[in-house]
Amino acid sequence: MVSLRDLSGRFTAIPAAGARLPADHAPGTSFPGLDPAWSRLVTAKTEDGARSFHVLDTGPVLEARGITPTGTILAVHGNPTWSYLWRHVIAGSLERARSGDAWRVIAPDQLDMGFSDRLAHPVPPAAEAPSYRRLPQRLGDLDALMDALDVDTGSRLVTLGHDWGGIISLGWAVRHAGRVDAAISLNTAVDHPTQDQVPAALRAAMAPAVLPAATIASEAFLKVTLGLTEDPLPEAVREAYRAPYTSRLGRGGIGGFVADIPAEATHVSRAALTEVSSGLCSWDKPLLLLWGPKDPVFQDRYLADLQSRVPHADLHRFEGAGHMLAEDRDLSAPIFTWLDDHFGAGASRAALESPAPAGRVLGMHEQLSTLAGSERRASPAVVDMTAEPEAWSNAEDAGTGDRALSWEELSAQVDALAVGLTYTGVRPGDRVSLLVQPGASLTVILYACLRLGAVAVVADAGLGVRGMTRAVRAARPDWVIGALPGLTLARSLGWPGRRISAQALSARQARLLGTVASVESLLSRHEGASPDQVATPGAEDPAAILFTSGSTGPAKGVMYTHGRLGALVALLVEHLEIRPGASLIAGFAPFALLGPAIGATSVTPDMSVTRPATLTAAAVADAALAGSATMFFGSPAALRNVVATTGELSELQRRGLSEITLVLSAGAPVHPDLLDAVQEIFPGAQIHTPYGMTEGLLQADIERRQVIEAVATGQSGVCVGTAVAGVRFALAPLDGLGRPAEELREPAEAVGVLGEIVVSAAHLKAGYDRLWQTERTSRRDTLDGLIWHRTNDIGHFDAENRLWIEGRLQHVLSTPAGPMGPGAVETPVDALEEVARSAAVPVGPQGTQAVVVIVEPAPDRSLRTGRSPVAETSFASRVREAAGEVPVSAVLVLEELPTDVRHNSKIDRTRLAAWAEKVLSGEKVGAP
């Protein structure tokens, strides 16, 4: 018998909760996902006597199967959960055991929690009350439990923890560093500065007047915690978590855990917490951090602290997930993949590499210095025609008012700003978020960061406020350099980083925005300074984090090193045949930053950078005249609007466009009809549609005439040409459910086979930033000992070695006839004169999915049946006829197909598929 004093101060005798197992809790029922065979009671000798621990343990199951485990995972839950938290990891370990690769999982309920023994508690709980289980005691409890269990001391041992279990498991790993081989932790913290407030979500429960009522007398704390999931928990799962805590007599440990939070320097557990946090600084073994960023308690500052203590830790942030990460995501795959990488059969294999650049490649800052000293140093390097020029412009074209910088001026400003930023405190390796509109100002700031070795964080404003916030918090910059709108947003949303304004601010503005300097003042103060004392970054040093468009999920940070950026610059110079006098109009704003690096004048046209589709023919023509442009780069959406606005051009503007010799369009497939229309606007230009992605900006290329020849062959998808110099393609064929194979095939060996496109090149990304799992799954290394990047694009190669893109992997239609890319249907449907563009989406279960075609009508076309989204019968027949042998189950009409915010080109097929399913089920729905 154990005692618990109730709220009135009296003691009430209750039976020990550890006397029963979860299976006994509700006769005739079971907890979802928990096999009673895993559950047992273990008696261990703790410092205050023998205690009964409830444990989920796969050891007996493996022994019964005759399987010797690879190692043991000790999984420790937090507050107010219990070992049920780890059921998916346990199930995953036993599933793997079928193939002979098994890890034993031991997941105990901590004392006073779950179905382990209950202890005596004074109520209300107080920090100084010695009868509460303290952090040192809980570390000792694990010692006692592991001594009582039959664990093979000669095999691998890994700790796994979450919440308070993260602190305890990491602390136990540090204490037993000679025995523990690796550690894994979900959202947790190992330190809390005493001068900082505890997060508001926890602070309320810690208040002495509130703590007993919120944690013990009621289920408030428990219910709030169970609500910290991305989607509501199923009722049966919620009840399983509640099972040990339905009575206040069983919730004493919940209150005890909260009372033991050592937020104050005088707290009795503070010394033990310091021992854990300081010990981690010496941790030299593998560590995996799995993190739910939407956690109101264990916020990003705690993650930053963990990373500062163990810089070599692998990290994956699961965007959208929160505190209850183990419920939001199935973690068994990343956990066991990571363990395989470190302890599996191939763990000792030498690291594989992408091809190295041929010869020495100049860094972007070195290229700029070289150009500034060349014969063209007085010619324009940057021409900025945006509507909002920066106040610190010092070179302006008298005729147009547009800001222009010569190569010499640009190099001098970059040098001066690099010195100024260094004096301000920016150091090599610091992350600098750039919140400045593309143009001359941003160019100077970016190249100054590259010069001093800071890592530029570039998140396109086209991501929107929500996407930008997610991106900036994921990158966690040390500094933010921004114009007023960007700084105001950073301040109001609490984005991390010390702030520097692009232009000079009044004292009041600087105080309100919290800035420590301005670019304008740094330039004037350090004019003529040479950054000789600033070390030149090396090829393997990180240079930039570029965020993807977010068109197929949360935007990902793509890490580039100086060497890989240099390889990209060399490739662009060679492939585009850049010569002195070349000038680039960047209709897709991020590419304006590459102009100076490749030796071309960079002209930023007057347009909305967040909406490429706002670019007009007149804006392109004015930019061509202002910068004597020879090249134009635009997204397909930009090209469509340029074509649509050609009627506004003057004769002079048409002459300016006729001087352009090269037009490039990338970001999404381009229909041949659009290419024909573009050719009429740029009569003297070669029109190319290169294929690439944020992870590798140029992979393949094709010219308009070659597109026409390829289309005549009648193949599915969009032809993007052949690999450019230094790039190798391979194919991972799809199975019947649309899953790519592990083994790669050379294009010549897989002609006409539908598969995922993989690529290897020297200018590919160095990795994904703080997305270990994404980086791990994006790589293939099964061909010629190279690292291959999975593009997530699907398509095929033809007999001429040309690549045809047919969609994205997540958009595969797994029909009864086999997997199919959306392009197999969209290409012929888009050719119908009534159609502006189309999307083929799947409806139904994998393997038996029906094909639904959704079309956006051409201007002034009405294709609906009345007010219904269902297409007219005659038009639907034409769509089915165009689709050929593909059985189209339904044809729907939308006035405008939803696209991504950055390119305005990539159709959101995932959203359309969900909408189509609702429409076909009879629901009355609006636009997706």
- Judge if 786 and 830 occupy the same domain: no
Q: Where are the alpha helices (DSSP H) in 324-380?
A: 325-328, 332-343, 364-372
Q: Running DSSP on this structure, what letter comes out for residue 607?
A: S
Q: Is the pLDDT of residue 478 over 80?
A: yes
On whether both 337 and 479 belong to a single domain, the answer is no
Confidence (pLDDT) at 320? 92
Beta strands in 685-802 (DSSP E): 686-688, 691-693, 696-701, 718-723, 728-733, 755-760, 767-768, 779-780, 788-797
- Dump pLDDT digits (tens) for 855-905: 999 988 889 888 889 999 999 999 999 999 899 999 999 999 887 644 445
CA distance 325 to 229: 7
Find out whether the peptide bond into 124 is cis, omega within 30 degrees of 0. Answer: yes
Residue closest to 436 by CA, chosen among 479, 493, 381: 479
**Domain match, 330 and 199 both:** yes
- Compute the distance between CA of residue 916 and CA of residue 919 in angstroms, rounded to an integer: 5
Please, what is the Cα angle at 517 between 514 and 518, to 5 degrees?
Answer: 110
pTM, whole model, 2 decimals?
0.87
Domain extent, residue 866, equals 813-928
Q: Are residues 160 and 51 in the same domain?
A: yes
Q: Return d(Cα 724, Cα 92) in angstroms, integer.
A: 42
DSSP 448-465: HHHHHT-EEEE--GGGHH
Same domain (yes/no): 779, 858: no
Let me know: does 278 contact 171? Beta carbons within 8 Å: no
Q: How far apart are CA 730 and CA 752, in angstroms?
A: 13
Same domain, 241 and 183: yes
Q: Name the residue among 566, 542, 568 with its Cα closest to residue 454.
A: 542
Q: List pLDDT tens digits, range 61-90.
A: 999 999 999 999 999 999 999 999 999 999
Residues 651 and 701 in one domain: no
pLDDT of res. 785 = 75
When pLDDT is cut at 50, 70 and 90, the band that residue 159 belongs to is very high
Any idea how long the chain is? 928
- The proportion of the chain whose per-residue pLDDT surpasses 90, expressed as a percent, equals 60
Number of other CB atoms surrounding residue 645 within 10 Å: 16
Last residue of a domain, one of 668, 689, 710: 689
pLDDT in tens, 548-591: 877 667 889 999 999 999 899 889 989 988 887 889 998 776 67
For residue 834, is pLDDT > 60? yes
In a domain, 922, yes or no: yes
Crossing angle between the packed helical segments 332-343 and 87-97, to the nearest 10 degrees: 50
* Summary mean pLDDT of the chain: 87
Least confident range of 234-243, 283-292, 376-385, 408-417? 376-385
497 band by pLDDT with thresholds 50, 70 and 90: very high
168 or 539, higher pLDDT? 168
Percent pLDDT > 70 in the chain is: 88
Distance (Å, whole) CA 69 – CA 59: 8
| pLDDT surpasses 60 at 679 | yes
- Torsion, Cα 531 534 540 542, to 10 degrees, reads -80
- Look at residue 384 and tell me if it is in a domain: no
Task: Specify the residue for token string 């990488």.
Answer: 341
> For residue 586, which of 547, 550, 638 has the smallest C-alpha distance?
638
The DSSP secondary structure of 761-790, one letter per residue, reads -TTS-SEETTBHHHHHHTEE--STTB-EEE
- Chosen domain end from 788, 811, 834: 811
**127 vs 57: which has the higher pLDDT:** 57
Quick one: pLDDT at residue 367? 66
Bigger pLDDT: 816 vs 580: 816
Q: Both 661 and 723 in a single domain? A: no
Asked whether residue 523 falls in the same domain as residue 496, the answer is yes
**Does the residue 568 lie in any domain?**
no
Q: Would the pLDDT of 123 be above 70? A: no
Assigned token pair, 691? 């294929």
Whether the pLDDT of residue 733 is over 70: the answer is yes
Cα 359 to Cα 45: distance, rounded to the nearest angstrom:
65
Tokens for 301, please give them.
Answer: 């500052």
**Better-predicted residue by pLDDT, 802 or 531:** 802
Pick the range with the lowest mean pLDDT from 51-55, 390-394, 781-785: 390-394
Question: What is the pLDDT at residue 910?
Answer: 87
The mean per-residue pLDDT over the stretch 12-27 comes to: 50
Residue 892 lies in a domain: yes
Q: What is residue 703's DSSP assignment?
A: B
Final residue of a structural domain among 638, 654, 689: 689
155, 141 Cβ separation under 8 angstroms: no
Establish if 888 belongs to a structural domain: yes
Q: Report the candidate in 359, 364, 405 with the shortest Cα–Cα distance to residue 599.
A: 364
pLDDT at 552: 66
Per-residue confidence band for 393, with pLDDT thresholds at 50, 70 and 90: very low
pLDDT category at 373 given cuts 50, 70, 90 is: low
Predicted pLDDT at 609: 61
Helix (H) or strand (E) holding 235: helix 235-242
Residue 351 lies in a domain: no
The pLDDT confidence band at residue 606, using thresholds 50, 70 and 90, is confident
Give the range among 2-11, 293-302, 600-609, 909-918 with minimum mean pLDDT: 2-11
Cβ distance 253 to 118 under 8 Å? yes
**CATH code assigned at 636:** 3.40.50.980
Question: If we measure between CA atoms, which residue out of 378, 352, 442, 368 comes closest to residue 780?
Answer: 352
What's the pLDDT at 656? 92
- Pairing status of strand 779-780 against strand 691-693: unpaired
Indicate whether 164 and 312 sit together in one domain.
Answer: yes
Mean local confidence (pLDDT), 282-288: 97
Q: What distance in Å separates the CA atoms of residue 732 and residue 614, rounded to the nearest whole number? A: 38
SS3 925: coil
Residue 513: how many other CB atoms lie within 10 Å? 18
Question: CA-CA distance, 795 to 811, in Å (whole number)?
Answer: 12
Number of structural domains (the chain) is: 5
Higher-pLDDT residue of 484 and 595 is: 484
- Give helix then strand counts, H and E, for the chain: 31, 40
Residues 173 and 311 in one domain: yes
Whether 348 is covered by a domain: the verdict is no
Residue 908 lies in a domain: yes
Q: What band does 240 get if pLDDT is binned at 50, 70 and 90?
A: very high
- pLDDT band at residue 359 under the 50/70/90 scheme: very low
Is the predicted pLDDT of residue 640 greater than 80, yes or no? Answer: yes
Which pair of structure tokens corresponds to residue 661? 């010799």
Q: In what order do the strands lie in the sheet with 103-108?
A: 39-46, 49-57, 103-108, 71-76, 156-161, 182-185, 287-291, 314-317
| DSSP-derived 3-state class of residue 91 | helix
Q: What is the pLDDT of residue 466?
A: 87
In the predicted model, is pLDDT for residue 22 greater than 80?
Answer: no
Do 148 and 294 belong together in one domain?
yes
CATH of the domain at 722: 2.30.38.10
- Cβ burial of 153 (10 Å; 0-12, 13-18, 19+) is exposed
pLDDT tens for 520-556 read 999 999 998 888 878 889 889 999 999 987 766 788 9
pLDDT of 39 strictly over 60: yes
Mapping DSSP to helix (H, G, I), strand (E, B) and coil, where does residue 201 land? helix
pLDDT (mean) for 258-279: 92
- Cβ 789 vs Cβ 805: under 8 Å: no
Q: CB neighbours of 180 closer than 8 A, spacing ≥ 6?
A: 157, 158, 159, 172, 173, 285
> Residue 389 pLDDT more than 80?
no
Residue 804 pairs with which residues in a beta bridge? 719, 796
Distance of alpha carbon 229 from the chain centroid: 19
Q: What is the enclosing helix (H) or strand (E) of 175? A: helix 164-175
